[in-house]
Amino acid sequence: MEDFYKEYILDHYRNPRNFGHLERADAAAEDLNPLCGDKIRFELEIEDGRVKDVRFSGKGCAISQASASMLSESIKGEKLEDVVRMSREAVLENVGIGISPARMKCALLGLKVLKSAALGEIAGWPD
Amino acid sequence: MIATLGSDARARALAKDFPILAQATSRGKRLAFLDSAASSQKPQAVIDSLVHYYTHDNANIHRGVYELAARATEHFEAARAKVAHFINAAEPAEIIWTRNVTEAINLVSYSWGLGNLKPGDAILTSQLEHHSNLVPWQLLAAKTGAELRFIEVDEHGIHQLDDLDERLRGVKLVALSHVSNTLGTIAPLETIIPKAHAAGAVVLIDGAQSAPHMKIDVRALDADFFGVSGHKMCGPTGIGFLYGKRALLEAMPPFLTGGDMIKRVQFTTTTFNEIPWKFEAGTSNIADAIALGAAVDYLEAVGMDWIHAHEQAMTAYALERMRELEPLGLTLYGPPNPADRSGIVSFNLGDAHPHDVASILDTEGVCIRAGHHCTMPLMEKMGWTATARASFYLYNVEEDVEQLIAALRKAAQIFKLG
Ligand SMILES: Cc1ncc(COP(=O)(O)O)c(C=O)c1O
């Protein structure tokens, strides 16, 4: 926990990848973290059942924004059905720093919203 | 530069009454508890009261004829009298036990509001309110057709009263927090309440952030209703109270119904009990009410005026020390003059999100709150996503501020600010 905030987390926080909006989104979803009001929106362009392009937007803490940013990088070209099945462990591994229970929703909000977009309905908290 | 606090030695001694504060964190850091606005810590006397009750006095009240039940009833009603004295109510019957201030406000909303508001009437509150003193009024307005109006606040969170007379037109209920839990603003009740009464309105005060920290005199204020949560004033969770003027309470129908709140029940009709019991359906939170009485004893022994003065000194000192961090991007919110605020300091540190700041402070043993503080409309008005908040109580000492400053410097370093 001492190196709680690694360099790359701050980099993703201050320079989020795939941040903004798509001109034409085939799927989109947004949600709030009820604890803190942090908000994330994911937009997907889908072709042949795969993620062709992605954008995310929103406001929040370094953990939620970096997690969403890294997630957006990791799903380009992936099959939608794989995105829907993505595990919480995969995201936490990607984030790569210890996440305390109090901050778990921050780290997982991006995945919840992404899955909601891919499913076309509100997804539960990833477990 | 170091402004030595005259009250620090006493606060240091009082902190010893709170066993939880003696512990170190799992990282071996001294605990600097700066989140009493969310819930205060409990002195040994309050913990002892709970243990004593369950060890010696436990029985249901108002029912049994045996000695234990009589003793439990006596202590329960004695606690009500203590609370009445604490806020200078005219009589204990004007104190209704609730779980917390949220329930106290809902009681008024349902019991008084539904019967007294109609289309064309208005409810006046402010832009500073905790969701607990806003959502019930939104629902009441929707149910009765009354209009919900707001006293605006400026960028420091100070009430703007220039057009108060106009805003009070047609108002039947004014519902205001005494002290803002987000910015610490002390509401100018001595100006607002007489005008509200002159306009024919009833006044409810949310005392969640004032009763724990300053002397309350509901009769001098001339509040019609005053709600408090015990857990923010050294008492246990699950107990709070509503003060209401006798005439108002007597005219109101019951809120929850069932046992204990009745005088006589026949198959199809019921005669309700007198106040305050008319509003206390079912078995009350006996042990916690008695322990809240112990908390009141504790606070009165310390002295509410001393507590207020100590917190204002702590706040002035903290503000002065935090201003040293302005070059690192620290922004302070709330009334600039420490005399206009209570022991609550909201701030942000550069572009670091308050949750991240709170997490870093946590690794240094410093407990603060981060988020919207249940005041989302205020956040939106101010254009803040969230703020970090440090709050002080009678047991906080200079060292807590030192630890806060050092931890904020560490957070600034991690976020490469300044
Ligand atoms: C001003 C104010 N009102 C209402 C509440 C709600 O208190 P409780 O949750 O104890 O009902 C709080 C607590 O955060 C508060 O600070």
Write the CATH number for B404.
3.90.1150.10
B38 inside domain: no
Q: Which of B282, B287, B305 is nearest to B235 (CA)?
A: B287
B247-270 mean pLDDT: 92
* Residue B89 resides in a domain: yes
Cis omega (within 30 of 0) for bond into B377: no
B374 tagged catalytic? yes
Backbone angles phi, psi at A90, to 5 degrees: -60, -40
Of A10, A14, A36, the CB nearest to B355: A36
Interface of A with B in 22-81 (CB under 8 A): 35-38, 59-63
Q: What is the pLDDT of residues B158-190, one digit of tens each?
A: 999 999 999 999 999 999 999 999 999 999 999
Residue B85 lies in a domain: yes
Q: Which of B353, B103, B66 is nearest to A66 (CA)?
A: B353
pLDDT tens-place string over residues B9-64: 999 999 999 999 999 999 999 999 999 999 999 999 999 999 999 999 999 998 77
Q: Is residue B98 located within the same domain as residue B21?
A: no
Cα torsion B174, B179, B183, B188: sign: positive
Q: Is residue B35 part of a domain?
A: no
Q: Is there a domain that residue A84 lies in?
A: yes
The number of domains in chain A is 1
Q: At A64, which CATH number?
A: 3.90.1010.10
| Domain shared by B166 and B288, yes or no | yes
ipTM of this complex = 0.88
Could you tell me if residue B63 is inside a domain? yes
Chain B residues with CB-CB distance to A1 below 8 A: 27, 363
* Residue B131 and residue B277 share a domain: yes
Nearest-angstrom CA–CA distance, A16 and B184: 35
Residue-range definition of the domain harbouring residue B14: 5-30+303-414
Q: Which two tokens stand for residue B180?
A: 């803002």
B132 lines ligand 1 (CB under 6 A): yes
Q: Note whether residue A62 is domain-resident.
A: yes
CA atoms of B87 and B205, how far apart (whole Å): 12
Asked whether the predicted pLDDT for residue B1 surpasses 50, the reply is: no
Tell me which residue range forms the domain holding A53: 7-123
Give residue B35 CA to ligand 1 midpoint distance, Å.
13
> CB–CB of B355 and A2 under 8 A?
no
B231 shares a domain with B201: yes
Q: Does any ligand 1 atom lie closer than 6 A to the CB of residue B178?
A: no
The reply to whether B137 and B286 lie within a common domain is: yes
Final residue of a structural domain among B301, B329, B354: B301
Distances (CA, A) of B352 to B153, B190, B406, B411, B412: 26, 39, 16, 8, 8
Q: Could you tell me if B130 and B205 lie in one domain? A: yes
Whether residues B271 and B337 share a domain: the answer is no
Q: Which of A2, A59, A103 sits opposite B359 (nearest CB)?
A: A103
Instruction: Mark whether B220 and B296 lie in a shared domain.
Output: yes
For residue B187 the two structure tokens come to 């509401």
A2 within a domain of the structure (yes/no)? no
Domain count, chain B: 2
Q: Does A47 reside within a domain?
A: yes
Same domain, B233 and B156: yes
Instruction: Please judge whether B355 and A103 are an interchain contact, meaning their C-beta atoms are less than 8 angstroms apart.
Output: yes
Q: Which whole number is the average pLDDT over B199-208?
A: 98
Report how far residue B128's alpha carbon sits from residue B379's, in angstroms, rounded to the nearest whole number.
Answer: 9
Residue A1 lies in a domain: no
Catalytic, out of B148, B304, B328, B374: B374
What does pTM read for this prediction?
0.94
Task: Name the residue among B178, B163, B336 with its Cα closest to residue B243.
Answer: B178
Q: Of B267, B301, B335, which residue is a domain's last? A: B301
Same domain, B200 and B272: yes
Chain B residues lying within 8 Å of A9, measured CB to CB: none
Q: Is A98 part of a structural domain of the chain?
A: yes
Per-residue pLDDT tens over the stretch A100-124? 888 899 999 999 999 999 998 888 8
* Minimum CA–CA partner of A59 in chain B: B385
